[in-house]
C-alpha cells in the first residue's frame, strides 16, 4: 500500500491530465455502442461541446476585452459595440500606466518580494514540521498537531486586529515585513507535507536509519528529496496565495510606495472607477501577465498542484 | 500495516533510550519554527481578539474591560444585521451556484471529446481562479457599467433596458454573486472532474446494462461516488463566501448604502476607520464562531451523506 502511495502523487498528476489518452482505445471498440446508435451519443457530445464552448467564451471574453481596451486610445475606450480584436495599438497606454501616479513596477516588485519570501519560508519550515509529525516520535506529537491543524479554521479576519496592533508596536506597519513574517510558517503547509511524508514507505527511511544516518541526515538526504513534488506544490500554492492577497495587505500597508500590486490597482482605479479606462486596463494587463505566462508554461502542474489537496482530502 | 515498524522502533527504544530522546529532540527542533509562527501569529492573536472583544478600546486609551457589552450591542446594530444578512446571501448563493455550475461543467467536460478540446475548456474555466480577485473585479466593474458597459450593450441588443448593476440596491448583490461564481467555478469544476474520473467505468456500464437511465445513473451511482468532492467543494465555498471582501470593494464599495456590504467589510470599517477595536473584535469573534459552527455541522453531516469506498 505504501509503495503505491509513493507514486500516487506524481501519478495523480498524470492521472488528472493523462486519463484521457485511454480514449483512443475506444475507437475500435464501440460495437456495442454502435448498436444503440452512434447518433445519440454524438448528438449528446455536440451539445456538451456547444454548452462548454459558450461557457468558455464567458470565461475568456472579459480578458480579451481587457486586452483590446488596453490598446485603445482613451477617447475610444468606451466605444460600443465593443471591438473584440484590437484595431489600434496604443502601446503608450502601458507606458502611461507604468509612469502614472501609482508606481506599478515598484508595487509589482513588492508583491514579488513578499511572495518569494513567504514561499521560501514555507518550503523550509513546513516540510520539517510535516516530517516530524509524520515520522518522528516525541511526547505531545498528536496534540500539538491537532492544535496546529485547528488554526486552519481561523479566518484571517479574526487575527487581523491583534496582528495590526502587534505590527504597529513593532514599528512594522506599512512595511513588507508585516506580511512576510506571518507568512513564513503555516498550518496548511505542515498538513500537506505531513500527508506527503506519511505516504513514503517506511522501509526507505528505516534503511537510511540502519545505515547510521542521523535524524537530520535521514530527513535532508532521503525524505526531503523524495518529497520534491509535495514541496513544489506547496511552493506554488504559497506563492499564488501571497501574490493574489488583498485583505491583509490592505490593512497592514498604507502608502503607494509599499503597496503590493493588487492594492496599487485599486488605487489606480480610483474611487468609483473614475480613472482613465484604457490606462487602468493596461495596468491590469501588466498585473495579470505573470499569472498568464506561468499558466501557459506550467498549466498541468499548477492544476495538479491546486487540485491535489482537494482530491486527497 | 505500520505495526512491524513501530515494534522495531519500540525494540530500538528499549535498547537505547538516548536514541529515543535524540529523536524527540529532533522532532521538537523540526516543529519549532512552525509552532513559533503559530503561537505568535495565530494563537496569540486569537486569544487577543477574544480579550479585546470584551473591552472598549479605541487606540487612544488602553483597553478597558466592559464584559459582554460589545456582544449585546451587536444584537441591536442594524448595520451589522444587514451586513450579516448580505453575507448569508453570498454564502447560500456561492454554495448553490458554484457547485451546480461546476458540477454541470465537470460532467460535460468528462464526456468523450477531442483531447485538445478538453484541455482548452479546462484551462479556460480554470484561468480566472488563478488571477487575483481584485483584477477580475476591476475588469467586471467596467463591463457592468450602466451606460458604457458591454453587458448592458449586449442585453440591449435583445431588448433589455439598461440594468444598474453596480448602483442599485436590488442589483448590487446579484452583481457580486455573478463575479464570485464566475471566478470560482473553475476550481470546483476541476475537483469534480478529478472525482468523476475516479468513478469506475464498469460500475456505470453495469447499471446501464441493468437499464438505468442517464439521470438515474447520475443520481444513484455517480453522485454518491463523488460525494467526497462535493463535501470538499461545499466546505471551501462556504468558508470562502463568509470572508468575501475585495470583489465588493472594487465592484460596489458595499453600496448603495449597505446593500452589498459584507460583514468583513463592516468589521474592517469599524476597526480601521472608526478605530472601535473592541467592537470590531467582537464582530470578528462572532464570525469565527459562525464559521466554526457551520464547518463542524458540515463535518458531522458528512458521516450521513459522504460515502467512502
pLDDT at A7 > cutoff 50: no
* A11 in a structural domain: no
Q: Give the tens place of pLDDT for each residue, A143-171.
A: 999 999 888 888 899 999 999 999 999 99
* A57 in a structural domain: yes
Which pLDDT score is estimated for B171? 93
pTM of the model: 0.84
Question: How many C-beta neighbours within 10 Å does residue A288 have?
Answer: 23
Q: What is the mean pLDDT of chain B?
A: 88
CB pairs under 8 A between A and B: 288
Alpha-carbon distance B69 to nearest alpha carbon in chain A (angstroms) = 19
Residues of A in contact with B44 (CB under 8 A): 162, 166
Instruction: Check A136 against B281: CB less than 8 A apart.
Output: no
What percentage of chain B reaches a pLDDT higher than 90? 54
pLDDT at A61 > cutoff 50: yes
Among B27, B112, B153, select the one facing A23 at the smallest CB separation.
Answer: B112
Which pLDDT score is estimated for B51? 96
Among B46, B139, B148, select the one facing A159 at the smallest CB separation.
Answer: B46
Which chain A residues in 231-260 lie under 8 Å from chain B, judged by CB atoms? 240, 243-247, 250-251
Which CATH number fits the domain that encloses residue A238? 1.10.3720.10
What is the average per-residue pLDDT within B5-24? 63
Verify that A237 and A131 share a domain, yes or no.
yes
Q: Give the tens place of pLDDT for each residue, A229-265.
A: 889 888 988 998 899 999 999 999 999 899 999 999 9
Q: CA-to-CA distance for B267 and B272, rounded, in angstroms?
A: 8
Among A137, A299, A313, select the one facing B23 at the smallest CB separation.
Answer: A137
**Nine-digit cell string for B58:** 479605541
Verify that A68 and A179 share a domain, yes or no.
no
Which pLDDT score is estimated for B10? 52
Q: Which residue has the higher pLDDT, B175 or A101?
A: B175
pLDDT band at A308 (very low <50, low <70, confident <90, very high): low
Verify that A232 and A153 share a domain, yes or no.
yes
**Nine-digit cell string for B83:** 451586513
Q: Which residue has the higher pLDDT, B136 or B300?
A: B136
Q: A184 Cβ partners below 8 Å, 6+ apart?
A: A117, A118, A121, A122, A125, B33, B37
pLDDT band at A275 (very low <50, low <70, confident <90, very high): low
Q: Give the tens place of pLDDT for each residue, B174-208.
A: 999 999 999 999 999 999 998 888 888 888 888 77
User: Which of A90, A124, A155 is the last residue in one of the domains?
Assistant: A90
Which chain B residues in 173-212 lie under 8 Å from chain A, judged by CB atoms? 182, 186-187, 190-191, 193-195, 197
**Nine-digit cell string for B9:** 522502533
pLDDT band at A83 (very low <50, low <70, confident <90, very high): confident
Q: Which residues of B156-186 are buried (b: 16+ CB within 10 A; e: fewer)?
A: eeeeeeebbbbbbeebbbebbbbbbbbbbbb
Report the first-to-last Cα separation within chain A, whole angstroms: 18
pLDDT at A312 > cutoff 60: no
What is the average per-residue pLDDT within A257-281? 82
Question: How many C-beta neighbours within 10 Å does residue A50 have?
Answer: 11
pLDDT band at B309 (very low <50, low <70, confident <90, very high): low
Q: Give the tens place of pLDDT for each residue, B17-45.
A: 787 888 889 899 999 999 999 999 999 99
Which of A290, A286, A285 has its CA nearest to residue A302?
A290
Q: Give the tens place of pLDDT for each residue, B244-278.
A: 999 999 999 888 999 999 999 999 999 999 999 99
Judged by DSSP in three states, A81 sits in coil
Which of A277, A198, A202 has its CA nearest to residue A230?
A198
Verify that A49 and A103 share a domain, yes or no.
no
Among B126, B143, B243, select the one facing A155 at the smallest CB separation.
Answer: B243
Domain tally for chain A? 2
* A2 in a structural domain: no
Q: B168 Cβ partners below 8 Å, 6+ apart?
A: B256
Which pLDDT score is estimated for A19? 36
- A5–B contact, CB cutoff 8 A: no
Verify that A103 and A81 share a domain, yes or no.
no
User: Which of A56, A90, A124 is the last residue in one of the domains?
Assistant: A90
Verify that A172 and A217 share a domain, yes or no.
yes
Judged by DSSP in three states, B159 sits in coil
pLDDT at B99 > cutoff 70: yes
Residues of A in contact with B143 (CB under 8 A): 62, 65
pLDDT band at A311 (very low <50, low <70, confident <90, very high): very low
Residue with cell 453587458: B151
Verify that A188 and A129 share a domain, yes or no.
yes
* A104 in a structural domain: yes
* A188 in a structural domain: yes
Residues of A in contact with B133 (CB under 8 A): 244, 246
Q: What is the mean pLDDT of chain A?
A: 81
Instruction: Check A161 against B1: CB less than 8 A apart.
Output: no
Range of the domain at A60: 37-90
Instruction: Check A302 against B130: CB less than 8 A apart.
Output: yes
Residues of A in contact with B281 (CB under 8 A): 161
Verify that A78 and A212 share a domain, yes or no.
no
* A70 in a structural domain: yes
Alpha-carbon distance B75 to nearest alpha carbon in chain A (angstroms) = 19
Residues of B in contact with A251 (CB under 8 A): 268, 272
What is the average per-residue pLDDT within B96-100? 96
Which pLDDT score is estimated for A108? 94
What is the average per-residue pLDDT within A167-185? 95
Q: CA-to-CA distance for A127 and B234, rounded, in angstroms?
A: 28
Verify that A75 and A156 share a domain, yes or no.
no
Angle between helices A261-269 and A104-135 (to 10 degrees): 140
Instruction: Check B46 against A1: CB less than 8 A apart.
Output: no
Alpha-carbon distance B77 to nearest alpha carbon in chain A (angstroms) = 19
Verify that A175 and A197 share a domain, yes or no.
yes
User: Which of A90, A107, A134 is the last residue in one of the domains?
Assistant: A90
Which pLDDT score is estimated for B16? 58
Q: CA-to-CA distance for A119 and A238, rounded, in angstroms?
A: 5
For B226, nearest residue in chain A (alpha carbons): A311
Q: Which residue has the higher pLDDT, B60 or B305?
A: B60
Q: CA-to-CA distance for B123 and A56, rounded, in angstroms?
A: 9
In sequence order, the β-bridge partners of residue A187 are none
Burial bucket for residue A217 (CB in 10 Å: 0-12, 13-18, 19+): middle
pLDDT at B133 > cutoff 90: yes
Q: Which residue has the higher pLDDT, B50 or B215?
A: B50
- Domains belonging to chain B, first-starting first, are 3-52 (no CATH), 73-305 (1.10.3720.10)
- B218–A contact, CB cutoff 8 A: no
Which pLDDT score is estimated for A158? 93
Which of B188, B119, B192 has its CA nearest to residue A21?
B119
Among B26, B115, B284, select the one facing A216 at the smallest CB separation.
Answer: B26
- What does the DSSP assignment read for A99-150? HSSS-HHHHHHHHHHHHHHHHHHHHHHHHHHHHHHHH---TTHHHHHHHHHH
pLDDT at A225 > cutoff 50: yes
- A127–B contact, CB cutoff 8 A: no
**Is residue A185 within 8 Å of A125, Cβ to Cβ?**
yes
For A185, nearest residue in chain B (alpha carbons): B34
* A307 in a structural domain: yes
- B127–A contact, CB cutoff 8 A: yes
**Is residue B251 within 8 Å of B137, Cβ to Cβ?**
yes
ipTM given for this complex: 0.86
Q: Give the tens place of pLDDT for each residue, B219-237.
A: 888 888 888 889 889 988 9
Question: How many C-beta neighbours within 10 Å does residue A51 have?
Answer: 13
Verify that A135 and A173 share a domain, yes or no.
yes
* A181 in a structural domain: yes
Verify that A159 and A278 share a domain, yes or no.
yes
Amino acid at each position: 500500500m505504501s509503495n503505491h502511495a509513493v507514486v500516487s502523487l506524481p501519478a495523480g498528476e498524470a492521472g488528472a491530465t493523462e486519463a484521457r489518452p485511454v480514449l483512443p482505445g475506444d475507437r475500435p471498440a464501440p460495437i456495442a455502442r454502435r448498436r444503440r446508435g452512434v447518433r445519440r451519443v454524438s448528438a449528446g457530445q455536440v451539445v456538451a461541446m456547444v454548452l462548454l464552448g459558450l461557457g468558455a467564451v464567458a470565461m475568456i471574453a472579459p480578458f480579451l476585452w481587457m486586452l483590446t481596451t488596453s490598446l485603445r486610445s482613451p477617447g475610444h475606450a468606451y466605444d460600443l459595440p465593443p471591438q473584440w480584436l484590437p484595431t489600434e495599438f496604443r502601446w503608450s497606454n502601458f507606458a502611461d500606466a507604468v509612469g502614472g501616479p501609482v508606481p506599478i513596477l515598484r508595487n509589482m516588485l513588492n508583491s514579488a518580494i513578499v511572495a518569494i519570501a513567504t514561499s521560501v519560508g514555507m518550503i523550509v519550515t513546513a516540510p520539517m514540521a510535516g516530517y516530524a509529525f509524520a515520522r518522528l516520535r516525541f511526547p505531545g506529537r498528536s496534540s500539538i498537531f491537532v492544535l496546529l491543524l485547528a488554526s486552519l479554521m481561523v479566518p484571517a479576519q479574526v487575527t487581523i486586529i491583534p496582528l495590526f496592533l502587534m505590527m504597529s508596536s513593532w514599528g512594522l506597519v506599512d512595511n513588507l515585513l508585516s506580511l512576510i513574517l506571518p507568512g513564513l510558517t503555516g498550518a496548511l503547509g505542515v498538513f500537506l507535507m505531513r500527508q506527503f511524508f506519511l505516504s513514503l514507505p517506511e522501509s526507505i527511511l528505516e534503511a537510511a536509519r540502519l545505515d547510521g544516518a542521523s535524524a537530520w541526515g535521514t530527513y535532508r538526504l532521503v525524505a526531503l528529496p523524495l518529497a520534491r513534488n509535495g514541496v513544489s506544490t506547496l511552493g506554488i500554492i504559497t506563492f499564488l496565495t501571497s501574490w493574489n492577497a488583498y485583505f491583509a495587505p490592505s490593512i497592514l500597508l498604507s502608502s503607494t510606495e509599499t503597496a503590493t500590486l493588487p492594492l496599487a490597482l485599486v488605487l489606480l482605479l480610483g474611487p468609483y472607477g473614475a480613472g482613465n479606462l484604457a490606462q487602468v486596463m493596461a495596468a491590469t494587463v501588466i498585473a495579470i501577465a505573470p499569472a498568464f505566462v506561468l499558466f501557459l508554461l506550467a498549466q498541468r502542474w499548477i492544476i495538479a498542484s491546486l487540485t491535489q489537496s482537494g482530491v486527497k482530502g | 500495516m505500520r505495526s512491524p515498524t513501530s515494534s522495531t522502533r519500540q525494540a530500538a527504544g528499549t535498547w537505547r533510550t538516548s536514541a529515543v530522546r535524540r529523536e524527540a529532540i529532533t522532532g521538537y527542533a523540526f516543529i519549532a519554527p512552525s509552532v513559533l509562527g503559530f503561537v505568535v501569529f495565530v494563537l496569540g492573536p486569537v486569544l487577543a481578539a477574544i480579550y479585546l472583544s470584551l473591552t472598549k478600546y479605541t487606540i487612544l486609551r488602553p483597553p478597558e474591560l466592559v464584559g459582554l457589552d460589545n456582544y449585546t450591542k451587536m444584537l441591536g446594530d442594524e448595520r451589522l444585521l444587514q451586513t450579516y444578512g448580505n453575507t448569508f446571501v453570498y454564502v447560500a448563493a456561492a454554495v448553490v451556484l458554484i457547485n451546480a455550475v461546476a458540477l454541470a461543467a465537470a460532467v460535460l467536460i468528462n464526456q468523450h471529446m477531442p483531447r485538445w478540446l478538453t484541455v482548452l475548456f479546462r484551462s479556460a474555466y480554470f484561468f480566472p481562479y488563478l488571477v487575483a480577485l481584485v483584477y477580475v473585479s476591476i475588469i467586471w466593474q467596467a463591463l457592468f457599467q450602466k451606460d458604457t458597459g458591454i453587458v448592458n450593450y449586449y442585453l440591449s441588443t435583445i431588448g433589455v433596458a439598461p440594468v444598474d448593476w453596480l448602483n442599485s440596491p436590488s442589483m448590487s448583490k446579484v452583481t457580486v454573486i455573478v463575479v464570485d461564481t464566475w471566478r470560482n467555478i473553475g476550481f470546483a469544476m476541476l475537483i469534480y472532474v478529478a472525482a468523476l474520473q475516479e468513478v469506475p467505468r464498469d460500475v456505470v456500464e453495469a447499471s446501464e446494462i441493468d437499464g438505468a437511465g442517464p439521470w438515474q445513473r447520475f443520481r444513484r451511482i455517480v453522485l454518491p461516488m463523488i460525494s467526497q468532492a462535493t463535501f470538499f467543494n461545499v466546505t471551501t465555498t462556504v468558508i470562502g463566501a463568509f470572508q468575501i471582501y475585495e470583489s465588493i470593494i472594487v465592484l460596489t464599495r458595499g453600496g448603495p448604502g449597505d446593500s452589498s456590504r459584507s460583514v468583513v467589510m463592516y468589521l474592517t470599517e469599524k476597526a480601521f476607520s472608526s478605530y472601535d477595536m473592541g467592537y470590531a473584535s467582537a464582530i470578528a469573534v462572532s464570525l469565527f464562531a459562525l464559521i466554526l459552527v457551520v464547518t463542524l455541522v458540515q463535518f458531522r453531516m458528512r458521516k450521513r451523506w459522504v460515502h467512502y469506498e
